[in-house]
Amino acid sequence: MYHLPVLKNRRTLLERAEKFISDIYFTDCNLRGRLYGDSCPLESLACFLTPKRITFAEASKQIFDPCKVGDTFGPTWWTCWFKVTLKIPESWRGKAVHLLWESDGEAMVWRDEQPVQGLTKEGEKTSYILSECLQDEELHSLTLYVEMACNGLFGAGQGSQIAPPDPNRKFSVQKAELVVFNGDVRELLTDFEMLVDIVKVLSTKNSQRGYQALFTVNEMVNLCDPSDPSSFAKVHSLAGTFFNQRNGESQHTVHAMGHCHIDSAWLWPYEETIRKCGRSWVTVIRLMEKNPEFVFTCSQAQQFQWVKSWYPGLFSSIQHYVKKGQFIPVGGTWVEMDGNLPSGESMVRQFLEGQRFFNKEFGRYCKEFWLPDTFGYSAQLPQIMQGCGISNFLTQKLSWNLVNTFPHNTFFWEGLDGSTVLTHFPPGNSYEMKGKVEDLVKTLKNNKDKGRANHSAALFGFGDGGGGPTQLMLDRLRLVQDTNGLPKVQMSTPDELFTRLQADSALLCTWTGELFLELHNGTYTTQAQIKRGNRQCETLLHDIEIASSLALYRNNTFPYPAEKLQELWRLLLLNQFHDVIPGSCIEMVVEDALKYYEGEFLQASSIGVSPVKDTPPVTPVSVTVQVFNCVKLEGTLASLCLISANRESISDGCLGNQFVMFDDVPLYWDAWDVMDYHLQTRKPVAEVVQPVHVVSPGGLRGSVSFTLRISDKSTITQEIIMDAMCPYIKFSTEVQWAESHKFLKVEFPVRVRSPNATYEIQFGHLQRPTHRNTSWDWAKFEVWGHKWADLSEHNFGVSLLNDCKYGYSVHKNTMTLSLLRAPKAPDATADMGIHHFTYAIMPHTRSFQEASVIQCAYNLNFPLRLIQCSPNTVPWSAFSVTSQAVVLETIKQAEDRGGVLVVRLYESHGSSVTATLRTALPVREAWVCDLLEKQDPNHPVPVTSEGITLDFNPFQIVSLLLIM
Interface residues toward Zn ion, by CB under 5 A: 263, 373
Minimum CB distance to Zn ion, residue 161 (Å): 13
Q: Kindly write down the DSSP assignment for every residue of 184-225, as one continuous string.
A: HHHHHHHHHHHHHHHHHHHTTT-HHHHHHHHHHHHHHHHH--
Q: Which of 669, 858 has the CB closer to Zn ion?
A: 669
Minimum CB distance to Zn ion, residue 374 (Å): 8
Q: Cβ(619)–Cβ(723) under 8 Å?
A: no
Question: What SS3 class is residue 613?
Answer: coil
Minimum CB distance to Zn ion, residue 590 (Å): 17
Q: Which of 373, 760 has the CB closer to Zn ion?
A: 373
Q: Kindly write down the DSSP assignment for every residue of 573-605, as one continuous string.
A: HHHTBTTTTTS-S-HHHHHHHHHHHHTT-----
Q: Which of 272, 373 has the CB closer to Zn ion?
A: 373
Q: How would you label 391-405 residue by residue, b for 16+ Cβ within 10 Å and e otherwise?
A: bbbbbbbbbeeeeee
Q: Cβ(724)–Cβ(619) under 8 Å?
A: yes
Q: Which of 271, 482 has the CB closer to Zn ion?
A: 271
Q: Kindly write down the DSSP assignment for every residue of 535-547, as one continuous string.
A: HHHHHHHHHHHHH
Q: Which of 335, 932 has the CB closer to Zn ion?
A: 335
Sign of CA dihedral 141, 143, 144, 148: positive
Q: Which of 373, 475 has the CB closer to Zn ion?
A: 373
Q: Which of 522, 764 has the CB closer to Zn ion?
A: 522
Minimum CB distance to Zn ion, residue 211 (Å): 41
Minimum CB distance to Zn ion, residue 154 (Å): 12
Per DSSP, helices labelled H in 39-180 are 56-60
Q: Which of 121, 578 has the CB closer to Zn ion?
A: 578
Q: How far is CA 163 from the centre of its chain?
A: 20
When CB distances to Zn ion are compared, the closest residue is 373
Q: Which of 373, 545 has the CB closer to Zn ion?
A: 373
Name 58's bridge partners: none
Cα(216)–Cα(232) distance, rounded to whole angstroms?
A: 14
Q: Residues 391, 396, 397, CA angle at the centre, nearest 5°? A: 115
Minimum CB distance to Zn ion, residue 450 (Å): 29
Minimum CB distance to Zn ion, residue 432 (Å): 10
Torsion of CA 836, 521, 467, 457, to 10 degrees: -140
Strand order of the sheet with strand 913-919? 879-881, 913-919, 947-952, 943-944
Tell me 164's DSSP state. Answer: P
Q: Cβ(262)–Cβ(274) under 8 Å?
A: no
Minimum CB distance to Zn ion, residue 365 (Å): 23
Minimum CB distance to Zn ion, residue 743 (Å): 24
Strands annotated E in 741-784? 742-749, 756-761, 764-769, 783-784
Residues in the chain: 964
Q: Cβ(224)–Cβ(233) under 8 Å?
A: no
Q: Cβ(789)–Cβ(840) under 8 Å?
A: no
Question: What SS3 class is residue 452?
Answer: coil
Minimum CB distance to Zn ion, residue 577 (Å): 8
CA of 793: how far to CAs of 35, 166, 748, in Å?
A: 73, 53, 16
Find all residues with CB under 8 Å of 340, minimum gap 6, and list them.
Answer: 375, 376, 377, 378, 524, 784, 806
Q: Which of 154, 776 has the CB closer to Zn ion?
A: 154
Tell me what percent of the chain is helix, strand and coil, each rounded to the nearest 5. 25, 30, 40
Q: Which of 373, 518 has the CB closer to Zn ion?
A: 373
Strand order of the sheet with strand 886-893? 886-893, 900-907, 957-963, 925-929, 935-941
Instruction: Report, as residue numbers or ranges, the catalytic residues.
Output: 373
Minimum CB distance to Zn ion, residue 269 (Å): 15
Query: Closest Cα to residue 934, out of 891, 894, 893, 898?
Result: 894
